[in-house]
């Protein structure tokens, strides 16, 4: 027997969670209609860094799945790059939603992925600083060496290579020098703080 999900009832029952996300992020997740454009454009999701896609996170918030959302790795590995926001037809700033969810998880001491997230962010930024844009193959290797999650890469590499999503060589980029300069400026500003 299949269970019927009453979406309006779920939102009524769990409206408190959506309201808190709204108050903290300023974003109304109810507007999301699951087009999936955010996930399609998310580099972190596309290099298999997330356990739940960004559009599914939006849906889980709509459904009031607080415990489940706050336990995801996704909220910690989102780098708030705003690519998804630029693509969202509903003008939802998903990075700000992720920020709010991280604060909530921290308040509830649900930090199981926080250490991995720091490693992930550092590796991600180093990769961009070196190549000017994401070079997925080296990113995957560097992250695996840093976190020791060797089985992650072994599991995903064959399918990813077959799909052509893991090029062996970095793509050339016109303005990589400027990206390096931006990164160096950020490091200098952080050192001055």
Tell me if 19 sits within 8 A of 47, measured CB to CB: no
Q: State the Cα–Cα distance between residues 25 and 94, nearest whole angstrom.
A: 9
- Write the Ramachandran bin of 93: left for phi over 0, alpha for psi from -120 to 50, otherwise beta: beta
**Which residue, 83 or 160, has its beta carbon nearer to ligand SF4?**
83
Tell me if 81 sits within 8 A of 43, measured CB to CB: yes
Tell me if 154 sits within 8 A of 110, measured CB to CB: no
Q: Which two tokens stand for residue 119?
A: 């490693």
**Which residue, 30 or 158, has its beta carbon nearer to ligand SF4?**
30
Nearest approach, Cβ of 182 to ligand SF4 (angstroms)? Answer: 17
* Phi, psi for residue 181 in degrees, rounded to 5: -65, -40
Position 54 contacts ligand SF4 (CB under 6 A): yes
Nearest approach, Cβ of 117 to ligand SF4 (angstroms)? Answer: 11
Q: Which two tokens stand for residue 74?
A: 């996704």
Position 92 contacts ligand SF4 (CB under 6 A): yes
Taking CB under 6 A as the criterion, which residues in 17-46 touch ligand SF4? 32-38, 42, 44-45
Q: What is the helix, strand, coil percentage profile of the chain, to 5?
A: 65, 0, 35
Position 81 contacts ligand SF4 (CB under 6 A): yes
**Which residue, 154 or 186, has its beta carbon nearer to ligand SF4?**
186
Position 80 contacts ligand SF4 (CB under 6 A): yes
Nearest approach, Cβ of 22 to ligand SF4 (angstroms)? Answer: 14
Instruction: Give the rounded distance of the alpha carbon of 178 from its chain centre.
Output: 25
Position 69 contacts ligand SF4 (CB under 6 A): no
Q: Which of 27, 55, 127, 160 binds ligand SF4 (CB under 6 A)?
A: 55
Instruction: Give me the residues that bind ligand SF4 (CB under 6 A), please.
Output: 32-38, 42, 44-45, 54-55, 58, 78-84, 87-90, 92, 94-95, 98
């Amino acid at each position: 027997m299949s269970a019927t999900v009453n979406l309006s009832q779920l939102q009524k029952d769990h409206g408190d969670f959506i309201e808190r996300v709204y108050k903290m992020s300023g974003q109304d997740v109810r507007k999301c209609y699951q087009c999936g454009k955010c996930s399609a454009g998310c580099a972190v999701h596309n290099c298999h860094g997330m356990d739940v896609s960004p559009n599914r996170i939006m849906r889980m918030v709509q459904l009031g799945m607080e415990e489940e959302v706050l336990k995801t790795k996704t909220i910690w590995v989102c780098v708030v790059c705003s690519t998804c926001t630029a693509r969202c037809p509903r003008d939802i700033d998903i990075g700000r939603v992720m920020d709010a969810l991280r604060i909530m998880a921290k308040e509830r001491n649900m930090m199981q992925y926080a250490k991995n997230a720091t490693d992930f962010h550092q590796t991600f930024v180093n990769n961009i600083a070196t190549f000017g844009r994401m070079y997925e193959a080296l990113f995957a290797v560097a992250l695996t060496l840093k976190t020791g999650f060797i089985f992650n890469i072994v599991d995903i590499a064959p399918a990813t290579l077959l799909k052509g999503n893991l090029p062996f060589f970095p793509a050339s980029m016109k303005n990589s020098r400027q990206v390096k300069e931006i990164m160096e400026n950020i490091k200098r500003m952080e050192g001055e703080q």
